[in-house]
Structures are given as C-alpha cells and as structure tokens.
A and B are shown apart, each in its own frame.
Chain A
Amino acid sequence: GNSVTQMEGPVTLSEEAFLTINCTYTATGYPSLFWYVQYPGEGLQLLLKATKADDKGSNKGFEATYRKETTSFHLEKGSVQVSDSAVYFCALSDQRGAGGTSYGKLTFGQGTILTVHP
C-alpha cells in the first residue's frame, strides 16, 4: 500500500535559518504529492503541490520538488520566520482505480513540528 515517511521532529530553528523537512513516499504509479501546514488549534491548509515528476511546487517562500528517482518531496525554505512555526504534513494522493474509478483519498505522513525562535 501507499505510505509517507517524514523526518522526525521537532525541528527548532532561529529566524532566517534555512529549513529542510524530508519526505519520502512509497506508492504504485504516479501519485500527486502535497505539503500541508497546520497552525495550533486549526485545520490543515494546503501549502503546495506537485502532480508529476520534476514538478516544483512553491508558495509563500516554501518549495518542494517531486523526485521520482528518489521517491522524495522534501520541503525547503531559504529563510524561516517565527510565523512559520506550525506542524507540516507531507501527503500523497490515491491512485485512480480499475475502470477509471477515482478515490481521492490521501495518505499522510506523521507530521513534523517546526518551532522558529526570534
């Protein structure tokens, strides 16, 4: 079955530091890949996505590149801010099933807590 593995946290950084959160996946076929962010006490927000190999998703200074050869989708940001403190989830979409049935289910990683200090 599908699975997503994220680097274990928590990750603690100083403001303006470089961020990398590793994400690797196992899936059949060619899933779409996502990063979600969850601020304390809130739901998940889609941060960025990539739908095919070598695609780069980007948003709010965050980037991630779909690497099929290494089955990875690492999240990066060049200079983090205190406001980036949150939990980050990597996820992949389910595959289109037999007969063209689409499921739409997502498989999530366990989440990585990021804390940024001033």
Chain B
Amino acid sequence: DGGITQSPKYLFRKEGQNVTLSCEQNLNHDAMYWYRQDPGQGLRLIYYSQIVNDFQKGDIAEGYSVSREKKESFPLTVTSAQKNPTAFYLCASSVLAGGPYEQYFGPGTRLTVT
C-alpha cells in the first residue's frame, strides 16, 4: 500500500540533544512538508521541499533542519536551539503538477523533551 511512514511514533530526549525524525513516502510525490502541532492548536509549517536537494523554510524554521537527498525521504532534525521542542510532528507529501495539491499525512511522531 502506498503511503507515508513516520518513525518512531513516540520519542523521548533530554534537553540539549539533537534528535532526527524520519519521514518516508512511496507515493512518488515531488513535494514533502513538515508541520508542528501543539495541543489545541492548528498546524504550523516548519520546512517544505519541492524537489530533491532543495528545501524552503516555513513559518517556524528556527531550531530545525532538514535534508532531501532522496525523493522518498525528508528527515527533520530538531536541534538543541529549538526552545520548545515538545510537540506532535507531522510529515506530509503532495503532487505538484496540475493540483489541486491535497496533502497526504503520515501518522505523526510525538516528541517529548525533558
């Protein structure tokens, strides 16, 4: 079945450590996205990528980094510079040709930093 996988589902880290969240898709989508969701709030865009080896900052990129070495993969690193890293992180992908650009989401990773 085609879809998006995120691993792990739950992640615990100590403050000051970098942590990398995995996102893989087998939908052959060009674009991939990372969002952050805090309790009771909507989604905020962290980074997005439209093509391999290229990515753009979203609305809240500070303290995060990404790479896009393969079309299928878009890992997100939460660095120690991110002041409030505890959140639910969602990865998504979409086509870019022709629209209407609906995004398909993975199951999410809940990160807790103490």
Chain A residues with CB under 8 Å of chain B are 32, 34, 36, 41-46, 49, 51, 89, 93-94, 96, 102-106, 108-111
Select one of A32, A43, A45 contacting B99, CB under 8 A.
Answer: A32
Contact call A104/B96, Cβ cutoff below 8 A: yes
Select one of B42, B45, B104, B105 contacting A105, CB under 8 A.
Answer: B45
Starting from the known contacts A32-B100, A103-B50, 19 additional A-B residue pairs (CB-CB under 8 Å) come to A32-B99, A32-B102, A41-B110, A42-B107, A43-B90, A44-B105, A46-B103, A93-B100, A94-B101, A102-B96, A102-B97, A104-B48, A104-B101, A104-B103, A105-B33, A105-B48, A105-B101, A106-B103, A108-B43
Q: In the bound complex, what is the Cα–Cα distance between A103 and B96 (angstroms)?
A: 7
Q: How far in angstroms is the closest Cβ of chain B from A109?
A: 6
Contact call A45/B103, Cβ cutoff below 8 A: no
Q: Jot down 21 A-B pairs with beta carbons below 8 A, ordered by A.
A: A32-B101, A34-B102, A36-B105, A41-B108, A43-B4, A43-B6, A43-B108, A44-B90, A44-B103, A46-B102, A51-B99, A93-B99, A93-B101, A103-B50, A104-B31, A104-B95, A105-B45, A105-B48, A105-B101, A110-B42, A111-B41
B94 interfacial by beta-carbon distance below 8 Å: yes
**Chain A interface mostly:** loop
User: Top 8 nearest A-B pairs by Cβ distance?
Assistant: A32-B100, A43-B105, A93-B101, A110-B42, A44-B105, A104-B101, A104-B31, A51-B100
